[in-house]
A and B are shown apart, each in its own frame.
Chain A
Amino acid sequence: MPVAASAIYFLNLRGDVLINRLYRDDVGGNMVDAFRMHIMQTKELGTCPVRQIGGCSFLYMRISNVYIVIVVSSNANVACAFKFVVEAVALFKSYFGGAFDEDAIRNNFVLIYELLDEIMDFGYPQNLSPEILKLYITQEGVRSPFSSKPSDKPVPNATLQVTGAVGWRREGLVYKKNEVFLDIVESVNLLMSSKGSVLRCDVTGKILMKCFLSGMPDLKLGLNDKIGLEKEAQLKSRPAKSGKTIELDDVTFHQCVNLTRFNSEKTVSFVPPDGEFELMKYRITEGVNLPFRVLPTIKELGRTRMEINVKVKSVFGAKMFALGVVVKVPVPKQTAKTSFQTTSGKAKYNASIDSLVWKIRKFPGQTEATMSAEVELISTMGEKKSWNRPPIQMEFQVPMFTASGLRVRFLKVWEKSGYNTVEWVRYITRAGSYEIRC
């Protein structure tokens, strides 16, 4: 049964109801009490996001300072329910213009009620595209191209848009200058053993698109991925161009992409929503270029002193540079005194996360930096258990670099009026979970 929810509650951290909506009759009125009693006020909180209490199941997520709780009594589709919550939050954010928290909910409760009525009916998720909903659900508090019109006179063809085959784009858009912005954002995830061997390494990337195009354009995107290129060569019956190609492990697409066509022709073709959206996500595990190498040495000198030496090497092109590099080196809880020496950047001890935090604002390619630190510990009596060393974590951003080597080869735009478009492409690589055990 694809039902996703019988009721949905938005609670603050104290457990007060901010907003709730009952979609079905099969759960009782005071389910929140049960949630508060058996989950919020116990150690259960955070141990499992799906719990059964009495005859009902509770699925919950925390987003900033709000718990969103879905209650069901049937064998509901859990994946659907969680995805609904994620999408609903994205929708609310797009309406509020940013934050989603307790205050935002209180300040927009009428709007949220209205949206909750629209995006789910009898527990079945309906259309959640912000683009379309903004056509006919408008509030004064909302930035919207239609806010000048009276809210009770909706766009006449709104209903056709909601249910239309292109349920994510409205017709009749006009832009003076037709522009497309592509952002390729990659997160590198690394898990390296203390001996320097790579245990796990992958890149999760996404292509974010900002479209300001008139009419109903058809777009086609070409990447330097192996399968796509081979298929293209096969279709045009000419040998594939040489050059760097990459192998995508998996791709997922925004609902605007024609999946059947992708499956048969390996081309990414779509009619884009207006404005900003996430076109696709991909994952790569082979041939990842790690932007940084980290070489830590940590020596425990007796029971009260430690010597930490961390060397970081940048291995991307010399003309590029990384921004906002942060290296977090965990130290024991009983750290008393620290002293540092760094070749670049600044380091300090942050007691709240029990780590030495070393920040380098700008890190050029093909260089290296080191930090050496001395840590003095308070000697504790009878502390038998040795310190379990959490991994070193790293944060960074490298503009115009992709760890996967992915490149956009082309972006073609067809529209019946035949206008010219300007395309902008940016690349950036960030640290995902970049961990080095020590």
Chain B
Amino acid sequence: MSGHDSKYFSTTKKGEIPELKEELNSQYKDKRKDAVKKVIAAMTVGKDVSSLFTDVVNCMQTENLELKKLVYLYLINYAKSQPDLAILAVNTFVKDSQDPNPLIRALAVRTMGCIRVDKITEYLCDPLQRCLKDDDPYVRKTAAICVAKLYDINAELVEDRGFLEALKDLISDNNPMVVANAVAALAEIQDSSVRPIFEITSHTLSKLLTALNECTEWGQVFILDSLSRYKAADAREAENIVERVTPRLQHANCAVVLSAVKIILLQMELITSTDVVRNLCKKMAPPLVTLLSAEPEIQYVALRNINLIVQKRPTILAHEIKVFFCKYNDPIYVKMEKLEIMIKLASDRNIDQVLLEFKEYATEVDVDFVRKAVRAIGRCAIKLERAAERCISVLLELIKIKVNYVVQEAIIVIKDIFRRYPNTYESIIATLCESLDTLDEPEAKASMIWIIGEYAERIDNADELLESFLETFPEEPALVQLQLLTATVKLFLKKPTEGPQQMIQAVLNNATVETDNPDLRDRAYIYWRLLSTDPEAAKDVVLAEKPVISDDSNQLDSSLLDELLANISTLSSVYHKPPESFVSRVKAAPRADDEEFADTAETGYSESPSQGVDGASPSSSVGTSSNVPVKQPATASPPAPAAMPDLLGDLMGMDNAIVPVDEPATPSGPPLPVLLPSTTGQGLQISAQLTRRDGQIYYDISFENGTQGVLDGFMIQFNKNSFGLAAGEALQVPPLQPGASTRTLLLMVPFQNISPGAPTSLLQVAVKNNQQPVWYFNDKIPLHVFFGEDGKMERAGFLEGWKSLPDDHEFTKEFPSSVISSIDATVERLAASNVFFIAKRKNANLDVLYLSAKMPRGIPFLIEITAAVGVPGVKCAVKTPNKEMVPVFFEAMEALTK
């Protein structure tokens, strides 16, 4: 039997709101109740029923608990939009909080805490004070959570009224559920405060451990999670805690089990007895395995965590590899994670079994899974030397099936195997060459070409094979072009006969004259010069012995791993990322709009440049962009010259020579992104960013001396870049004492020494001082620093411009992670970067903004931004006569709308 509430969703033709209003004011109880239900139904489907506020609130004073709850639900949803009217409800709340029925007292306090209206908050304090001391544990446990709610709205009020102390008293409450909720509330308050509020002493520890035995499953999770911050004093205490927590491993609730595992792993660090540690590992394995029989979503969470656990303690599940074998009907996300763990657990002992499994998976339907299985075989080969041969024979068997993507994946991993075990398995090259013509993916092609080049002397028809690839050279992706270039040079050096000579001519010509890709061109020039000046030196460089690669299946570095293990069972452990990288809320930072947020950042963070508040995360993006040329040929590229062009050499050739230091300057502002971390700079840390002020472009740069001595004589140079940016004055940095830091603005002038090719945002910088070697680092040029103050267009001009440009000059791009929380704020922020607002219109629930900007030399950008307010995902369309600028432009816009 079930309810028939669906009737409340049906609407009548007549004006709905007036009709509801009438019913809400009916003299009959039942009719009023039905009306409130209809209002809630309308609210659920997204209709705006806020205009009925007064009428609904009038129904609040009722004996009927069900009706009261519905009215409260309505209040939670609409109080914010009607703060003045919400006051009407206060009296009832206060009265309810003194009701003889504990359910009603608790309901009143619980609901009041959910209404985030300042005026109501004031009235909440007295009832809350009473309820924290209520005789009924149900009311106390509700009041405990309410303190956390209030702290979120008004932290000061909570501290002033002494609620924190009251909350701490509740830890000693005789009711375990009250204790659990108090712990949850305190832990949350501690999370958002920088001051120590909730510190677990050995006294509270024993109380919490006792409560653990008695409270509900969820309460156990709260207590265990808060205990995970506790640092045991010594091994004995750690053992004691572990002993009390271990029984939780048998709980049916997966969250209890994972939180218990978290504590045990943390405390194990302190335990010195190897017997105890071994015993604990033995105890943890079965519960972890049992998690794999839960719902697939829970399995996924468990597998992501197990992935971390086996990296830290490989012995725990060393004998359980079979439980990670994939079932045919497992969801794909479960299969992928199982595979990852199988690689980690693979050992000489079980490799035969594991290989049989991988081989089986490689014939399944899902392409991504099949690829991953093939890759897994390669990773096992690299990881387990003694099994390498067996892995290779499995790979060869798979190649023989001739399924296109299996072959390609196999070739990619075989290339890695060659690098791991040089001069061992080259006999299989002939088999690989048979599949040459099936290759159509860049990575597989590049791998095959690398193999041909590397072993040119052993492949009789290497020149023919390479030649077949060369025919399509101009159409190939950059990755393949680079490999072809290097492989041809290798071939020529190994077999300097006529055929290869012609090939090398053709390739070098192609790669220098007919390409726009600076990486390719620069590499080609280097080879060319090397070959023409000193072929022997070229041999030394190009055919140099490569370092042997190693297994990467334990990728996480130990400090990150420890941090993630301390976060077992949370999102952090699922993403394998530290919490601060995805949680936007910063400690104690007031809730504010973006601009206000930037303000507080300016005052609060000037000394912590590592916090990239602007969200552009420049350090990471620089990391990837600088990786691009280096990463893909990593297995093949000859060392130093090609990968890292001699920056200073190029710099010397430029007009503006290195300029000496003059006088100091100390601007302040938001923290700058770190470009040269102190670990790389031998103690010197450099943070910098391009900015535009008063119509000029400046390089806002700061130096921090973490070395033992004084650093002086700072000089800076910029490599040729797409915008010809160069220093317009001397860098002025005073001698830096150890531990001191300085920040300065360096005037920049554009269009000095423009590097040809498609514009990129890459800015290569060299900095030197008298004490250290020259430091090179990469920065990004945010295009908007060029946007002029004169970029505002009139409506008519915009429309005309838009029409006059052909359609192939229009480009669109999605920024999936950008959110526009308020149109006005976004417009203002864009205007601050000289992107000017022209008009806006609404299209269904989407807002469309029209904007304009202008680069020097009269390049206009006509911009259309489409987004729904508050929903992540922004679409940006642009029309401009200068198509080449578009990628860089989108980069800048994405940063600006973040």
- Interface residues in chain A, defined as those with a beta carbon under 8 Å from any beta carbon in chain B: 1-3, 16-20, 22, 24-26, 28-30, 33-34, 37-38, 46-50, 52-57, 59, 61, 72-80, 82-84, 86, 96-97, 103-104, 106-111, 113-114, 117, 121-122, 124-128, 136, 139-143, 151-152, 154, 158-160, 162-163, 165, 167, 189, 191, 193, 199-200, 202, 204, 249-255, 259-260, 262-263, 278, 280-281, 283, 384-386, 388-391, 393, 433, 435, 437
Residues of A contacting B5 with CB < 8 Å? 106-111, 141
Quick check: A141 and B4 within 8 Å, CB to CB? Answer: yes
Q: Which of A75, A111, A435 contacts B572 (CB 8 A)?
A: A75
A92 to chain B, nearest CB (A): 10
B69 (CB) vs chain A CBs: closest residue: A114
B251 near A259 with CB under 8 A, answer yes
| B251 near A252: Cβ-Cβ < 8 Å | yes
**Contact A122 to B325, CB < 8 A, known contacts A30-B871, A117-B73, A252-B287:** no
B761 interfacial contact with A, CB 8 Å: no
Give the Cβ gap from A36 to chain B, nearest Cβ, in Å: 9
Assess A283 versus B290: contact at CB under 8 Å? Given A165-B176, A435-B327: yes
B178, B569, B570: residue with the most chain A Cβ atoms closer than 10 Å? B570
B residues neighboring A (CB under 8 Å): 1-6, 8-9, 37, 40-41, 44-46, 63-66, 69-70, 72-73, 76-77, 101-103, 106, 110, 113-114, 116, 136-139, 141-142, 145, 148-149, 152, 175-178, 181, 184, 187-188, 191, 213-214, 216-218, 221-222, 225-226, 246-248, 250-255, 257-259, 286-287, 289-290, 293, 295-298, 300-302, 322-323, 325, 327-329, 331-333, 353, 356-357, 360, 363-365, 401-403, 567, 569-575, 579, 582-585, 816-817, 819, 821, 845, 868, 870-873
> Given that A50-B300, A117-B73 are known contacts, is A391 also in contact with B44, CB under 8 Å in the complex?
no
Q: What is the bound-complex CA distance between A108 and B45, given in angstroms?
A: 15
Given the complex of chains A and B, what is the CA–CA distance between A121 and B222 in angstroms? Answer: 13
The 7 closest A-B pairs by CB, nearest first: A141-B3, A54-B872, A250-B286, A159-B138, A80-B255, A75-B579, A259-B247
B63 and A152: CB pair below 8 A?
A: yes
Q: How far, in whole Å, are A77 and B253 apart by their CA atoms in the complex?
A: 13
Choose one: A50, A253, A283; the contact of B293 (CB below 8 Å). A283
Contact A77 B255 (CB under 8 A): yes
Expressed in whole angstroms, the Cα–Cα distance for A202 and B325 within the complex equals 12
Once bound together, how far apart are the Cα atoms of A46 and B137, in whole Å?
Answer: 42
Out of A33, A83, A158, A160, name the residue touching B253 (CB < 8 Å): A83
Q: Are B6 and A106 in contact (CB under 8 A)?
A: yes
Task: Determine chain A's interface SS by DSSP, over half rule.
Answer: mixed
A263 to chain B, nearest CB (A): 4
Selected A-B contacts with CB under 8 Å, 13 pairs: A28-B871, A55-B584, A55-B819, A56-B872, A75-B570, A77-B225, A79-B569, A82-B297, A121-B181, A122-B148, A154-B103, A249-B289, A259-B213
- How far, in whole Å, are A124 and B223 apart by their CA atoms in the complex? 12
- Residue of A56, A127, A283, A388 near B177 (CB, 8 A) is A127
B44 to A: closest C-beta gap in Å: 6
Chain B residue numbers with a CB within 8 Å of A143 are: 1
Nearest-Cβ distance from residue B475 to partner chain A, whole angstroms = 26
B298 lies within 8 A of A79 (CB):
yes
A404 and B872 CA atoms in complex are apart in Å by 52
Smallest CB separation, A331 vs chain B (Å): 15
On whether the beta carbons of A34 and B871 are closer than 8 Å, the reply is yes
User: Chain A contacts of B64 at CB under 8 A?
Assistant: 152
Known: A79-B258, A82-B295. A283 touches B2 (CB 8 A): no
Cβ-closest chain A residue relative to B67: A152
Return chain A residues, CB-CB under 8 Å to B331. 46
In the complex, chain B residues whose CB is within 8 Å of the CB of A3: 188
In the bound complex, do residue B289 and residue A250 qualify as a contact, i.e. CB atoms below 8 Å apart?
yes
Indicate if the CB atoms of A163 and B177 lie closer than 8 Å: yes
Min C-beta distance of A394 to chain B, whole Å: 12
Residues of B within 8 A of A253 (CB): 250-252
The answer to whether B250 touches A433, judged by C-beta atoms less than 8 angstroms apart, is: no
Closest chain A residue, CB of each to CB of B153: A25
Residue among A1, A104, A127 making CB contact with B191, cutoff 8 Å = A1
Residues B571 and A154 in contact, CB atoms below 8 Å apart = no
- Contact yes or no, A73 B583, CB < 8 A: yes
A49 CB → nearest B CB, Å: 4
- Residues of chain A contacted by B44 (CB below 8 angstroms): 17-20, 109
Kindly identify which residue among B70, B175, B187, B323 contacts A110, using a CB–CB cutoff of 8 Å. Answer: B70
Contact of A193 among B145, B226, B356 (CB under 8 A): B356
Which residues of B sit under 8 angstroms from A2, Cβ to Cβ?
184, 187, 218, 221-222, 225-226, 259
Query: B103 and A122: CB pair below 8 A?
Result: no
A72 touches B293 (CB 8 A): no
The answer on a CB contact under 8 Å between B569 and A78 is yes
The reply to whether A17 and B3 form a contact with Cβ atoms under 8 Å apart is no
User: Do A25 and B152 touch across chains, with their CB atoms under 8 A apart?
Assistant: yes
Chain A residue at minimum C-beta to C-beta distance from B113: A122
Q: Are A154 and B65 in contact (CB under 8 A)?
A: yes
A75 touches B567 (CB 8 A): yes
Pairwise interchain contact A72-B3, C-beta atoms closer than 8 A: no
Asked if A160 contacts B252 (CB within 8 A), the reply is no
Taking a contact as CB atoms under 8 Å apart, the answer to whether B103 and A199 are in contact is: no
Q: How far is the CA of A25 from the CA of B821 in the complex (A)?
A: 15
Smallest beta-carbon distance B163→chain A, Å: 15
Across the interface, B188 reaches (CB within 8 A) one of A1, A30, A33, A48, namely A1
Beyond known contacts A26-B585, A250-B286: 9 more, CB 8 A cutoff: A50-B571, A78-B570, A103-B6, A107-B2, A121-B110, A165-B214, A193-B356, A200-B323, A384-B402
Q: How far is the CA of A393 from the CA of B572 in the complex (A)?
A: 37
Which B-chain residue is minimally distant from A162 (CB atoms)?
B138
Docked CA distance A140–B301 (Å):
38
Q: Which of A18, A54, A260 contacts B817 (CB 8 A)?
A: A54
Are A110 and B145 interface neighbours, CB within 8 A? Answer: no
CA distance A278 to B329 in the complex (A): 26
CB pair B184–A104 under 8 Å, yes or no, is: no
Q: Are B40 and A437 in contact (CB under 8 A)?
A: no
Contact A78/B571 with A34-B872, A38-B873, A253-B252 known, Cβ cut-off 8 Å = yes
Contact: A126 with B258, CB < 8 Å?
Answer: no
> With A and B bound together, what is the CA distance between A391 and B225 in angstroms?
42
- On whether the beta carbons of B252 and A281 are closer than 8 Å, the reply is yes
Say whether A142 contacts B293, CB under 8 Å. no
| Distance to closest chain B CB from A276 (angstroms) | 15
Q: Could you say which of B2, B322, B845 has the most chain A C-beta atoms within 10 Å of its C-beta?
A: B2
| In the bound complex, CA of A282 to CA of B788 (Å) | 70
Given A78-B574, A80-B569, A388-B364, CB of A142 within 8 Å of CB of B583: no
A130 vs chain B, min Cβ distance (A): 14
Residues of A with C-beta under 8 A to B257: 252
Residues of B within 8 A of A26 (CB): 585
B41: chain A residues at CB < 8 Å are 109
**Inside 8 A of B329's CB, which chain A residues have their CB?**
433
A140 touching B401 by the CB < 8 A rule? no
Query: Inside 8 A of B214's CB, which chain A residues have their CB?
Result: 165
CA A232 to CA B289, docked complex, whole Å? 27
Q: Which of A55, A249, A263 contacts B250 (CB 8 A)?
A: A263
Name A259's contact: one of B76, B248, B401 (CB within 8 Å). B248
Instruction: Name the B residues within 8 Å of A19 (CB-CB).
Output: 44
B3 and A1 contacting across the interface, CB-CB below 8 Å: no
Q: In the complex where A121-B142, A122-B145 touch, is A79 in contact with B255 (Cβ < 8 A)?
A: yes
CA–CA, A384 and B407, complex, Å: 14
Say yes or no: A76 contacts B181, CB within 8 Å. no
Which residues in A have their C-beta under 8 angstroms from that of B102? 159
Which of B178, B571, B572, B845 is packed against the most chain A CB atoms within 10 Å? B571
CB distance from A413 to the nearest CB of B (A): 22
Query: B250–A83 contact, CB under 8 A?
Result: no
Contacting pair B1 A142 (CB below 8 A):
yes
- Complex CA distance for A262 and B585, rounded to whole angstroms: 42
Set A76, A140, A260: member contacting B3, Cβ < 8 A = A140
Please state if A61 and B295 are interface contacts (CB–CB under 8 Å).
yes
Cross-chain contact B70 with A259 (CB below 8 angstroms): no
Please name all residues of chain A whose beta carbon is closer than 8 Å to the beta carbon of B191 when the two chains form the complex: 1, 74
A138 to B: closest C-beta gap in Å: 9
